[in-house]
Amino acid sequence: MIAYPLPDDAINAALAAVRFDADGLVPAIAQQHDSGEVLMMAWMNHDSIGETLRTGRVCYWSRSRQSFWRKGESSGQVQMLVEWRVDCDGDTLLLRVDQQGPACHTGRRSCFYRRAESGGLQVTEPVLLSPDALYGKKDPSPGF
């Protein structure tokens, strides 16, 4: 397990390896570090990567809200960073994380809860916490 936060020069080395798209964003896959579950995919920009590596708590960039999206700030279900990885061409990140509770705004552990089967699309994951319980009466929309 890697110790975060990282020092500034290591954060700069990580950022230098990232190839951001035309909007200054890069997709980040979140994977539960011990079980291997792929939990979600969201987007990061330069500053949200910097914050994540500095604090050890995952911060995305919300494309819909155009603002930082500190995972768990509404739901309480925070995502702590265990490993930060970048792919061969620098245009995708893999975050190995420790996710508390549901990662999905529907209250399921993973956002990938629908599977294509011969009978159609099947929901395979249970709701662990209702969106009402996660968000109260607030807007349950995720940060996409």
Residues forming the site for a second copy (CB under 8 A): 2-3, 6-7, 9-11, 13-14, 17, 27, 29, 31, 35-38, 40-41, 53, 83-89, 91-92, 94, 104-106, 108, 111-121, 142, 144
Q: Rounded to whole angstroms, how far apart are CA atoms 56 and 37? A: 20
**What is the closest distance, in whole angstroms, from the C-beta atom of residue 53 to a second copy in the complex?**
6
Q: Rounded to whole angstroms, how far apart are CA atoms 33 and 37? A: 8
Which is nearer to a second copy, 20 or 112 (by Cβ)? 112
**What is the closest distance, in whole angstroms, from the C-beta atom of residue 31 to a second copy in the complex?**
6
Take residue 30 and report the two structure tokens written for it.
Answer: 């979140």
**What is the closest distance, in whole angstroms, from the C-beta atom of residue 110 to a second copy in the complex?**
8
End-to-end CA separation in angstroms for the chain: 29
Which is nearer to a second copy, 66 or 116 (by Cβ)? 116
Q: Rounded to whole angstroms, how far apart are CA atoms 46 and 19? A: 10
**What is the closest distance, in whole angstroms, from the C-beta atom of residue 39 to a second copy in the complex?**
10
HSE-CB at 81 with a 13 A cutoff on CA atoms is 27
**What is the closest distance, in whole angstroms, from the C-beta atom of residue 142 to a second copy in the complex?**
7
Which is nearer to a second copy, 68 or 144 (by Cβ)? 144
Closest listed residue to residue 123, CA positions, set 139, 135, 140, 106: 106
Which is nearer to a second copy, 53 or 134 (by Cβ)? 53
129 Cβ contact list (under 8 Å, min separation 6): 101, 102, 107
Which is nearer to a second copy, 2 or 133 (by Cβ)? 2
